[in-house]
């Protein structure tokens, strides 16, 4: 019986590595012929993520998965473009990936044969390394099928129409009408240019992204953290004419144990303290505000949020991270309206980090103000908690647009808010925030709550035996062994 080894290469950003390792878990549980080696490369621009990656690695108890840290020191001296830095980072590590895999083959500790690489969406240039070993590459796409489709669509436009420069697309779109929109195959509605990720229209960054998309087409399969019942239109539009590679929707892939999340806690608040506080609240009474491992706001915006919460009168659990660039704990008293903590002591709790899965699963939580990271949205759907959208960066605006306009599974605070690294963002007023919170918490949005509950049931059925994602995972495993030489 063939025993095969897959080499996983995740990007250690929390939204990427957590779902990719859940995929590894699924594979190991589903087929005992598979073993996995995970090559860890810790990107230096993310504080706390190194500890998070280490914590996740320690949570695996099976001997069929092995973690190797091959992180090399990389200094970005003159380069400030995030995507270019990431590209330089992976290029620096390619020889070390090759060395690690060569040693894996030479030692053959587990008596397995190399069956292929599974690489993060940002690392598809590693297809070159896989080719040197004569094995296939599979891409892991941690975001939406719609964002995958948009990437491939834009890459085709760049190559066939815009001669390698997507800034021409931006200029054309913005000049064409007062309301700039794109027609994209994976979306039912025209996509506002304001929700397209900013990196698409940055020449240096888009060159990196489009090169990754180009390499996606060279893989033997693309695994997507979504499920057919949620994104059927987007999934069907990626390769509508049956082109390769095949797409496998295997989600939702969720870290429901919360392993590793304590790496982000700075204020000493324990999970038990948070859950005990929620236990004292009535069902569906709490609005939960959390903006991810990198989401943060300036003092002026935090004051607007605080004012909105007071005006609604709802019970709240609010996770504040004043600056993602700093590991230092920020005292809420220094950044919130004067007297806010005293006035809201009986109805609210302000924390530095939350065990998000445990919070969303709690019956007291009735709504979620979210940055619209894809993992967070999938978790909210899994637990049937409606979302008020407030995206910050990356593809989060596109996620918000899809949830609010395409799928009608969320309400809007903002869908096109863009938080910049070192740049000023437009201040969202307390009134706007209050309206969004009321819409997600109060009865006039009962249809949203009902739709989210229905999608929750579908998400759970998708991963059960006979479900759409369960079947898709089986097809992926068949692909691996069909390509196994």
pLDDT at 48: 60
Superfamily (CATH H level) for 271-459: Glycogen Phosphorylase B; (3.40.50.2000)
* Residue extents of the structural domains in the chain: 4-149+188-256+463-483, 271-459
DSSP string for residues in 320-354: --S-TT--S---GGGTSPTTHHHHTTTTEEEES--
Cβ(393)–Cβ(200) under 8 Å? no
What is d(CA 381, CA 396) in angstroms, rounded to the nearest whole number? 16
- Rounding to the nearest 10 degrees, give the CA dihedral for residues 367, 369, 374, 380: -10
Residues recorded for the chain: 485
The low-confidence residues of the chain, meaning pLDDT below 70, are 1-2, 45-53, 57, 61, 77-79, 162-179, 242, 258-269, 322-330, 420-424, 443-446, 485
pLDDT at 287: 98
HSE-up of 173 (CA within 13 Å, CB side)? 19
pLDDT at 268: 54
- pLDDT tens digit sequence for 143-185: 999 999 999 999 998 888 766 666 666 666 655 554 688 899 9
What is d(CA 451, CA 467) in angstroms, rounded to the nearest whole number? 20
pLDDT at 142: 97
4-149+188-256+463-483: CATH topology: Rossmann fold (3.40.50)
Residues 6+ away with beta carbon under 8 Å from 175: none
**Among all residues, which ones are annotated catalytic?**
16, 120
β pairing state of 181-182 and 191-192:
antiparallel
Phi and psi for 168 in degrees, rounded to 5?
A: -65, -35
Spacing of C-alpha 288 from chain mean position: 19
Is 271-459 in the same CATH topology as 4-149+188-256+463-483?
yes
- pLDDT tens digit sequence for 188-228: 999 999 999 988 888 889 999 999 999 999 999 999 999 99
pLDDT at 446: 61
pLDDT at 238: 93
Cβ(388)–Cβ(403) under 8 Å? no
Q: Which two tokens stand for residue 110?
A: 């587990």
What is d(CA 72, CA 90) in angstroms, rounded to the nearest whole number? 10
Determine the 3-state secondary structure of 38 from DSSP.
Answer: strand
What is d(CA 443, CA 471) in angstroms, rounded to the nearest whole number? 37
pLDDT at 445: 54
Which helix H or strand E contains 146, and what residues bound it?
helix 145-160
pLDDT at 263: 47
- Residue from 436, 424, 373, 419 nearest 400 by CA: 373
DSSP string for residues in 419-483: -BTTB--PPPPHHHHHHHHHHHHSGGGHHHHHHHHHHHHHHHHHTSTTSHHHHHHHHHHHHHHHS
Residues 6+ away with beta carbon under 8 Å from 86: 11, 43, 122, 208
Q: Which two tokens stand for residue 415?
A: 């869908």
Does the pTM surpass 0.85? The reply is: yes
- pLDDT tens digit sequence for 283-338: 999 999 999 877 788 889 999 999 999 999 999 999 997 554 455 556 788 888 88
What is d(CA 353, CA 263) in angstroms, rounded to the nearest whole number? 9
């Amino acid at each position: 019986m063939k025993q095969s080894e897959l080499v996983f290469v995740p990007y250690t950003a929390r939204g990427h590595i957590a779902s990719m390792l859940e995929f590894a878990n699924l594979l190991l549980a589903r087929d005992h012929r598979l073993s996995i080696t995970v090559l860890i490369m810790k990107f230096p621009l993310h504080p706390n993520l190194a500890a998070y990656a280490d914590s996740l690695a320690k949570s695996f108890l099976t001997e069929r998965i092995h973690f190797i840290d091959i992180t090399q020191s990389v200094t970005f001296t003159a380069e400030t473009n995030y995507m270019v830095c990431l590209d330089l980072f992976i290029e620096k590590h390619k020889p070390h990936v090759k060395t690690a895999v060569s040693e894996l083959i030479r030692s053959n500790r587990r008596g397995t044969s190399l069956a292929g690489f599974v690489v993060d969406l940002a690392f598809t240039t590693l297809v070159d390394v896989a080719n040197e070993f004569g094995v296939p590459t599979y891409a892991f796409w941690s975001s939406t099928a719609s964002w995958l489709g948009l990437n491939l669509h834009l890459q085709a436009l760049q190559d066939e129409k815009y001669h390698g420069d997507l800034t021409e697309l931006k200029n054309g779109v913005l000049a064409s009408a007062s309301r700039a929109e794109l027609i994209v195959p994976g979306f039912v509605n025209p996509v506002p240019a304001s929700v397209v990720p900013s990196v698409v229209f940055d020449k240096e960054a888009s060159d990196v992204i489009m090169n990754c998309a180009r390499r996606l087409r060279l893989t033997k399969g693309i695994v997507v953290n979504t499920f057919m019942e949620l994104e059927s239109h987007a999934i069907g539009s990626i390769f509508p004419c049956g082109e390769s590679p095949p797409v496998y929707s295997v989600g939702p892939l969720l870290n429901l144990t919360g392993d590793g999340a304590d790496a982000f806690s700075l204020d000493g608040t324990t999970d038990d303290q948070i859950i005990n506080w929620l236990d004292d609240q009535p069902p569906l009474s709490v609005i939960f505000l959390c903006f991810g491992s990198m989401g943060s706001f300036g003092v002026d915006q935090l004051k607007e949020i605080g004012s909105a919460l007071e005006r609604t009168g709802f019970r709240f659990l609010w996770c504040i991270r004043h600056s993602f660039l700093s590991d230092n704990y920020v005292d809420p008293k220094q950044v919130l309206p004067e007297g806010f903590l005293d006035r809201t002591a009986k109805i609210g709790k302000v924390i530095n980090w939350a065990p998000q899965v445990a919070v969303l699963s709690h019956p007291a939580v009735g709504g979620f103000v979210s940055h619209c990271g894809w993992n967070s949205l999938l978790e909210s759907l899994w637990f049937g908690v409606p979302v008020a959208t407030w995206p910050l960066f990356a593809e989060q605006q596109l996620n918000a647009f899809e949830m609010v306009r395409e799928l009608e599974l969320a309400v809007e605070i903002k869908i096109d808010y863009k938080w910049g690294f070192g740049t000023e963002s437009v201040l969202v007023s307390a009134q706007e925030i209050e309206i969004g919170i009321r819409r997600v918490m109060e009865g006039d949005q009962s249809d949203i709550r009902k739709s989210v509950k229905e999608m929750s049931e579908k998400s759970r059925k998708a991963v059960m035996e006979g479900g759409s994602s369960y079947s898709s995972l089986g097809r992926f495993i068949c692909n691996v062994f069909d390509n196994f030489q």
